[in-house]
Structure 1
Amino acid sequence: MSGFEAEKASLRSREHHNGTSLLSDNNATKEFEMTNQNDLKLQELGYQSELRRSFSIWSILGVGFGLTNSWFGISASLIAGINSGGPLMIVYGIIIIACISSCVGITLSELSSAIPSAGGQYVWTRVLIPKDKNASFWSYLCGSLAWAGAIFTSASTILSISTLAVGFYALCHPDFTPKAWHTFVAFELLNIFIFFFNCYGKILPHIATGALYISLFSFAVITITVLACSKGSYNTPAFVFRDFENATGWESAGLAFIIGLVNPNWSFSCLDCATHMAEEVEEPERIIPISIMGTVAIGFVTSFCYSIAMFFCVKNLGAINASNTGIPILDIYHQALGNKAGAIVLGCLVFLTGLGCNISCHTWQARLCWSFSRDKGLPFSDKLLIIDPRTGVPLYAHFFSCALVALVGCLYLGSSTAFNSMATGCITFLLMSYAIPTFALLFVKGRKNLKHGPFWLGPLGMFANVVTILWTCFAAIVFSFPVTKPITRNNMNYASPVIAGYVLVAVIYWHVKGKKEYRPVDDEAEAYVKAMGGESPDVAF
């Protein structure tokens, strides 16, 4: 039996073993050829396929939206925005950020379609920058920033549901005053609990798909329930769309509004998540862009409708700001339903959605750590690049990433506004990692010189690239401002020193060790890099 026939027989046998219908010869041939083409593209970049391509378009969309999960992000981070302008800031902020995120999504989609790789932005950087222009350093720095963004995203997401868990108790005990250590303990316990969901590869596609359905189900149930229970006592349109409530202490309403954009921006972050699953899906050059743009579209519809519905049901904004729960959305549920039990039930749906979000987050950070270690970009790379043969996942990379998330959680013990610092770190690290390959695409390689994939938007894509770079510069500055005044040690935004410190450590590591060990592009991959020019054949998207 030839190798080709043996592979087809293996595919049929695997389907039969899983209890599904037998593949026809044509289907087996098609699956083999598709997998082979994907693996050949990966080999051209200098990598070997090590992960099973078991994710479908729905499970990839589940990972992408399950992590970004915009309506959940609005719920979880409402405390970061509602004081910076009230409902008006959130509603119009969602529109602004959705437009910007569409540009970011287009940029990532074009690059992932042209250069599908689990490394995502740091591999794109290496392809787009010539070897004689410090391509290895910029690729390394981009990978370091992307992984740091994933770590801070995990930390901020776990912190949001940890705060929610403590808020449940506070809602039922009005005299209870939550302490930082309460949330910190919940944070560490949840980080350990969520760790185990990413320890077995075969169940991950099912978890990702389930997380998508749970999120959409929870969104529908909460929105309908809150609106139905508030019937006859809705707030005024002026309260939702016109009135500006500035409780930050900043004299400038405009500055307060801009700082508050961290809430919707965090809710639309992590759009690169799906790109790091490129080696676990067939036809990644088509599927990954669909997932990214689908995530933005679903995120806008759900978060916009959800926010308007919730704010029309607010009865007393002052009571929400003064509540002991520290979770505005929980108090909105309480005011709408009129009883604590119902509010906690709806809060549990948010909590379950948050668990799915965190599981996707762990999947993402582990893949980034693994792919970057494959190129010797991290300490202990020889261990971190190993795919565990029993579980089919990069177990060491997963454990290492979760351990660092646990350390980042310690920030909460030092600042009452640590969530803002983590959210800012998440947004800034990721935007910087997007900006590097985007800048290289525009000003080093040139868009017309890239052999693009099926997703390519021409002039609109160029506009999206420019917006991505400009927004990165703007957000990195304004989101580092403290959320409230007067500024004290407890409410200081520590994102700037953390980001600067991390970049400094990364640069030092590069000069001490990274420059010697970071994977040089071999001859085969270098030939591919040089070939990434000219026009690609027309492909239907």
Structure 2
Amino acid sequence: MVFCVFFNIFLAKRLPFVEGVLLIIYVIGFFVIIIPLWVLAPRSPASEVFTTFNNEGGWSSTGVAVMVGLGGVVPSLAGYDCAVHMAEEIKDSSKTLPQAIVFGVAVNGLMGLIMVITMCFTLGDTTSILATPTGYPFIQVFFNATNSYPATNTMTAIVVVVFISAVISEIATSSRQLWSFARDGGLPFSRWIAKINHNANIPLNAVLVSLGITVLVSLINLGSTVALNAINSVTISALMSSYILTISCVVYRRLSGQPLPSRRWSLGRAGMPINIAALVFLTPLFVFAFFPLATPVTPASMNWGIAMFGGVIVLATIYYAIEGRKSYTPPVMLLQREHYEM
């Protein structure tokens, strides 16, 4: 995290170049990982890959087990909107950003599907993979395929580099989101968080706050895996709720005949069906994000995400009632003010 924050502070101007290099590494790394698995790994029959479902959580049906298990893969479907938080630093963002999001979904969706199917065919015995002494099943899959420590280390290093590059981008986008909300007066200590370091031309305080919060959350894992799992659950449910709220607003305006804000790029007639399909997909995911992973449920295995999510909502509501409603200025108010001034 310190390295990623250091990069965002001192090498921020180099971020586009580095992102381009990392994209090349990402694409090459995809083939470096997938080709050895295709060539060397043991193969499971297609009938097992596509028709076998495990219900190790003791749920009443396989369907419920699948929905609960989706919580672990939902983060791979999130984050495509991160570029939006950089909108004020991107040229022609109203056109560039939506195109980048659609392109990212298309490319990563295709590559992800290929990788998932490959992993399912090359997993081998699931029980032994999950019991790996490395603590990371994917590393064991690499070793079982190659039977080589150097090859396994190389393949794992590629994954690590890709994750680090993702963290660099996440710090950039999360700090901008934090800064913009503070600029609008929506957070405690907003004035301090919203300060811009003019030497580096970045929201330095927002970057440092992002570092502090992430380090504190990461340290929780040293004391309690249960607490960390609860925080992860809140992350998923918070993302789902934010997507549901924003998409619902768009659907409401479409159905009520109200005009949408002007835009330079649009999905056209496909927009409404995609919005509705997204809500149908997201709503049950939001509900199952609060489910524990297995039954019977004990205090240690309980998913405490619902308590934390509810607590955050209560604290945010109290803060808004006491202070936020006085200091917060929604972006739409700023746009309307600019419009009238023009």
Same fold (TM over 0.5): yes
The letter of the residue matching 2:298 is T
Equivalent positions of 1:368-383 (< 5 A) are 368-383=177-192
The CA distance in 2 between the partners of 1:468 and 1:246, in whole Å, is 26
What residue number does 2:31 align with? Answer: 220
State the distance in 2 between where 1:521 and 1:332 align.
Answer: 48
Q: Secondary structure at the match of 1:199?
A: helix
**Aligned: 1:456 with 2:266:** yes
Q: Tell me which of 458, 479, 500 is aligned to 2:289.
A: 479
Unpaired stretches in structure 1, ≥5 consecutive residues: 1-190, 531-541
1:451 and 1:213 map into 2 onto residues whose CA distance is 36
Corresponding position of 2:137 = 328
- The superposition leaves residues 209-260 of structure 1 with CA deviations (integer Å, 9 ceiling, x where unpaired) of 2222222221111001222223xx4221122212222222323211111111
Task: With the length of structure 1 as denominator, give the TM-score of the two structures.
Answer: 0.59
Q: Any unmatched runs of 5+ in structure 2?
A: none
- Write the mapping of 1:157-196 to structure 2, written as runs, cut at 5 A: 191-196=1-6
- Residue 516 of structure 1: CA displacement? 1.0
1:355 matched to 2:164: yes
Q: Tell me the distance in 2 between the aligned counterparts of 1:433 and 1:254.
A: 26
SS class of match (1:449): coil
Q: In 1, Cα distance between the equivalents of 2:273 and 2:332?
A: 34
Distance 1:432 1:315, change over 3 A: closer
Partner of 1:506 in structure 2?
316
Return the offset for 1:444.
5.1
Q: Distance in 2 between matches of 1:274 and 1:194?
A: 17
CA contact (8 A) 1:266 1:423 kept: no
**How many positions carry a matched residue from both structures?**
339
Does the residue aligned with 2:73 lie in a helix, a strand or coil? helix
Partners of 2:243 and 2:43 lie apart in 1 by 42
Percent pairwise identity? 28
Q: Distance in 2 between matches of 1:283 and 1:330?
A: 41
The one-character-per-residue Cα deviations of 1:177-212 (angstroms, maximum 9, x if unpaired) are: xxxxxxxxxxxxxx2232211113212212222222
- Match among 402, 410, 433 for residue 211 of structure 2: 402
Q: 1:436 to 1:244 in 2, by over 3 A?
A: closer
Return the offset for 1:339. 2.8
CA RMSD of aligned residues (A): 2.4
- State the SS of the aligned residue for 2:80: coil
Higher relative contact order (CA 8 A, sep 6+): 1
Aligned to 1:442: 251
Separation (CA, whole Å) in 2 of partners of 1:458 and 1:241? 35
| Matched AA of 1:484 | A
Determine the C-alpha separation between the residues in 1 that align with 2:331 and 2:91. 25
Q: Match of 1:222, as an amino acid? A: I
- Give the 3-state SS of the residue equivalent to 1:245 in structure 2: coil
Match of 1:284 among 72, 93, 115: 93
Structure 2 partner of 1:296? 105
Q: What is the rounded CA distance, in whole Å, between the counterparts of 1:429 and 1:273 in structure 2?
A: 14
| Residue of structure 2 in register with 1:262 after alignment | 71
Per the alignment, residue 52 of structure 2 pairs with: 243
Pick the aligned partner of 1:386 from 195, 198, 215: 195
**Alignment-mate amino acid for residue 238 of structure 2:** F
Residue identity in the other structure for 2:116: S
Shift of residue 289, structure 1, vs aligned partner? 0.6
Displacement of 1:440: 2.5
Q: CA deviation at 1:336?
A: 0.7
Displacement of 1:476? 1.7
Aligned: 1:516 with 2:326: yes
2-structure distance, mates of 1:520, 1:419: 32
TM-score by length of 2: 0.90
Measured in 2, the distance between the counterparts of 1:527 and 1:352 equals 45
Conserved? CA contact 2:247–2:275, under 8 Å: yes
- Is the Cα contact below 8 Å between 1:373 and 1:385 reproduced in 2? yes
- Residue 305 of structure 1 corresponds to 114
Q: Secondary structure at the match of 1:507?
A: helix
Mapped partners of 1:394, 1:248: distance in 2: 44
1:358 and 1:462 map into 2 onto residues whose CA distance is 33
Q: 1:209 aligns with which of 5, 14, 20?
A: 20
Separation (CA, whole Å) in 2 of partners of 1:441 and 1:380: 31
Alpha-carbon distance in structure 2 between the residues aligned to 1:347 and 1:520: 44
